[in-house]
Amino acid sequence: MRGLGTDSALTGYARSSLRLRFGFQPAIHDPMSPFRSDIWVAAFVRRHNDLGHMCVLERRGDPVAGQIFITVDHLDGTVSLFTPAPAAGRQDQDSADRVFERRFERVEPLKARERIAREINFDPDLWVVGLEMRGGDLGILVV
């Protein structure tokens, strides 16, 4: 049963045969689906640490589909909070990139922490990444 993970490895007949015989539905990777949350967060943290920014994982969420919140400490007593953008706000609906919106810009840290706490009560599977950075490009798509 080699190659069950790709669509090209199995014809439609073979997939339906597996489903009927064994109740098995082979995983077919959709190239337009976003990366798993754990992989995306690991890459984001590593990238910023390699650039010399202090970036840490503050809260671990669902490894596959957890929402990702990014707090940016501007090192002047203020923070910004980036949250996942609603699907309606995205220009390119077919893109697999994660898209963020700037929820708060340069506010008191308590305000951002309260917002994250409310979101955790609603969705306990979310990730929180903390980044210390005075300014510059975060390397994320912001709408």
CATH number, domain of 75, equals 3.40.1530.20
DSSP character at residue 90 = -
Higher pLDDT, 32 or 140: 140
What pLDDT is attached to residue 23? 52
Q: Are residues 80 and 121 in the same domain?
A: yes
What pLDDT is attached to residue 67? 95
Q: Is the pLDDT of residue 29 over 50?
A: no
9 confidence band (pLDDT: 50, 70, 90): very low
Total domain count, the chain: 2
Cα separation values, 48 from 45, 90, 101, 132, Å: 5, 25, 19, 9
Place of tokens 């014809």: 11
Domain containing 138 equals: 37-142
Q: Are residues 24 and 41 in the same domain?
A: no
Q: Is the pLDDT of residue 135 over 80?
A: yes
- CA proximity to 71, closest of 114, 123, 122: 114
Q: What tens digit of pLDDT does each residue of 30-84 get?
A: 555 678 999 999 999 999 999 999 999 999 999 998 999 999 999 999 999 999 9
Q: What tens digit of pLDDT does each residue of 83-124 get?
A: 999 876 556 555 568 899 999 999 999 999 999 999 999 999
Q: Are residues 15 and 41 in the same domain?
A: no
Helix (H, G, I), strand (E, B) or coil at 21: helix
Q: Are residues 138 and 102 in the same domain?
A: yes
What's the maximum distance between 2 C-alpha atoms anywhere in the chain?
63
